[in-house]
């Protein structure tokens, strides 16, 4: 994995309490993309006066292009907030060829370590551009101002490697893998999971070490994806169940929560060490229960029963959903603990 390690420090980072303080004085003339709450938390810390501050109200490409048209001449663009504010800054930095600084104020998404910006064309997500922050600023105090449950949700896309790697291996065994299978990548993914498992208490309490572990996990995952050219090791049946539910219910979810439910159910369908991964999700206080997401039992049941058709129709990556039938008996068994843990579910 030497090649992977060579990329490890590819994103310049600044970690610390008050890490963002006065960064505005180091980056020339700058503009900010943000939202109300993140800006309230950070505007007195950033130092220097931004040439412009844009409150991001949409991720439509046409809207972002209109911001670029009115952008004053700048050396840097600073994205402050969650995924959207950061992605808007990435898009602008890429289009204008200027320096990007990202200051995530919440960890619920990995937008701040990925290179492409997720923008919308007619409400459909497209990933475009290729930029990296210089630097990525992780200010522990700023991140702790976000709701704890949302920061914890950041663990969802790390734990998903547990089920996604299983699916990739399964696909390989059946001669159905879309990408050349790599045991090295699976080993690297497992190593990230093992490391995360030792910091579950810190992630639950959102300590400095917990925040750092999540960010470093994301960065390591991003390095793997960068060298592999795909996210097969991180996305599998646990995400596919979520896509089905999202289409069925036509509303957004907190990503880490719904992915957590996917991990809970798909690790059981895979018979893949589900006790341990469930224990980890419980220990970290990940809110993956259907009732917490307003998913009635009948809806979850219908979704599970449709998954096999759904992944075939969408031509999604080959996974356990292609090979194992989901029966009423199985649903009864797999959801039994969700029932006892949360009576509202039934
Ligand atoms: Zn995800």
The tens digit of pLDDT for each residue in 6-45 reads: 444 478 999 999 999 999 999 999 999 999 999 999 999 9
Average pLDDT of every residue of the chain: 92
Ligand 1 centroid to Cα of residue 171, in Å, is: 20
Is a pLDDT exceeding 70 seen at residue 258?
Answer: yes
User: What pLDDT, on the 0 to 100 scale, is given for residue 286?
Assistant: 96
Check whether 238 has a pLDDT greater than 70: yes
For the whole model, what pTM was predicted? Answer: 0.89
Q: How far does the centroid of ligand 1 lie from the alpha carbon of residue 340, in Å?
A: 27
What is the fold, at CATH topology level, of the domain defined by 2-146? Rossmann fold (3.40.50)
3-state secondary structure of 328: helix
Distance 32 CA to ligand 1 centre (A): 26
Residue 8 confidence (pLDDT): 45
Q: Is residue 275 pLDDT above 80, yes or no? A: yes
Query: If you measure from the C-alpha of residue 292 to the centroid of ligand 1, how many angstroms do you get, rounded to a whole number?
Result: 19
In the chain, the percentage of residues whose pLDDT exceeds 70 is: 95
Q: What is the pLDDT of residue 2?
A: 35
CA distance 57 to 60: 9
**pLDDT for the residue 341:** 55
Q: What is the pLDDT of residue 111?
A: 82
List the domain boundaries for the chain: 2-146, 149-345
- Reported as a pLDDT band with limits 50, 70 and 90, residue 131 is very high
Report the separation in Å between the CA atom of 3 and the middle of ligand 1, taken as the mean of its atom positions. Answer: 25
Q: Is the model's pLDDT at 78 over the cut of 60?
A: yes
Ligand 1 centroid – CA 158 distance (Å):
8
Contacts of 107 (CB under 8 A, 6+ apart): 143, 146, 150, 151, 153, 154, 211, 214, 215
How remote is the CA of residue 116 from the centroid of ligand 1, in Å?
15
Q: What is the DSSP letter of 60?
A: B
The residue behind tokens 């879309």 is 178
pLDDT of residue 338: 87
Ligand 1 centroid to residue 60 C-alpha, Å:
21
Indicate the helix (H) or strand (E) that contains 103.
Answer: strand 99-104
- How far apart, in whole angstroms, are the C-alpha atoms of residue 257 and residue 253? 7
Q: Residue 74 above 50 pLDDT?
A: yes
**How much is the average pLDDT of 280-306?**
95
Determine whether domain 149-345 maps to CATH 3.40.50.720: no
| pLDDT band at residue 343 using 50, 70 and 90 as cut-offs | very low
CA distance 227 to 222: 9
C-beta separation of 192 from 217 below 8 A? yes
How far away, in angstroms, is 255 Cα from ligand 1 center?
7
Ligand 1 centroid to Cα of residue 259, in Å, is 7
Beta carbons of 66 and 112 less than 8 angstroms apart: no
Q: What is the mean pLDDT of residues 254-258?
A: 92
Q: pLDDT for 162-214, tens place per residue?
A: 999 999 999 999 999 999 999 999 999 999 999 999 999 999 999 999 999 99
Residue 3 scores a pLDDT above 90: no
Residue 334 has pLDDT above 50, yes or no: yes
Q: Phi-psi category of 13—alpha, beta or left, where left has phi over 0 and alpha has psi -120 to 50?
A: beta
Task: Give me ligand 1 centre to Cα 253, in Å.
Answer: 11
Q: Tell me, in angstroms, the distance from the centre of ligand 1 to residue 157's CA.
A: 5
Longest dimension (CA), the chain: 63
């Amino acid at each position: 994995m030497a090649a992977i390690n060579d990329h490890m420090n590819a994103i310049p980072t600044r970690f610390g309490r008050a890490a963002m303080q006065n960064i505005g004085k180091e980056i020339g003339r700058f503009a900010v993309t943000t939202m109300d709450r993140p800006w309230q938390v950070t505007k007195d810390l950033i130092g220097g006066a931004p040439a412009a501050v844009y409150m991001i109200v949409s991720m439509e490409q046409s809207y972002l292009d209109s911001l670029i048209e009115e952008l004053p001449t700048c050396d840097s663009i600073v994205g402050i907030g969650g995924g959207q504010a950061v992605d808007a800054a990435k898009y602008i930095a890429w289009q204008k060829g200027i320096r990007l600084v990202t200051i995530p104020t919440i960890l619920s998404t990995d937008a701040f370590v990925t290179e492409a910006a997720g923008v919308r064309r007619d409400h459909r997500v497209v990933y475009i551009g290729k930029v990296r922050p210089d630097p990525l600023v992780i200010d522990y105090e700023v991140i702790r101002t976000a709701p704890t449950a949302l920061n914890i949700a950041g663990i969802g896309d790390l734990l998903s490697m547990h089920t996604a790697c299983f699916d990739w291996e399964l696909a390989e065994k059946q001669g159905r893998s879309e990408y050349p299978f790599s045991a090295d990548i699976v080993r690297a993914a497992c190593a990230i999971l093992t490391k995360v498992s030792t910091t579950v208490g810190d992630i639950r309490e959102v300590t400095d070490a917990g925040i750092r572990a999540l960010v470093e996990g994301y960065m390591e995952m991003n390095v793997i994806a960068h060298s592999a050219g795909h996210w097969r090791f991180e996305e599998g049946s646990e995400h596919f169940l979520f896509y089905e539910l999202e289409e069925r219910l036509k509303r957004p979810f907190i990503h880490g929560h719904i992915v957590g439910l996917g991990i809970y159910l798909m690790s059981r369908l895979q018979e893949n060490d589900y006790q341990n991964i469930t224990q980890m999700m419980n220990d970290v206080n990940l809110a993956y229960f259907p009732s917490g997401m307003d998913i009635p039992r009948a809806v979850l049941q219908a979704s599970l029963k449709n998954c096999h058709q759904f992944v075939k129709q969408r031509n999604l990556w080959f996974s356990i959903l292609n090979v194992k039938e989901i029966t009423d008996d199985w649903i009864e068994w797999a959801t039994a603990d969700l029932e006892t843990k949360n009576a509202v579910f039934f």
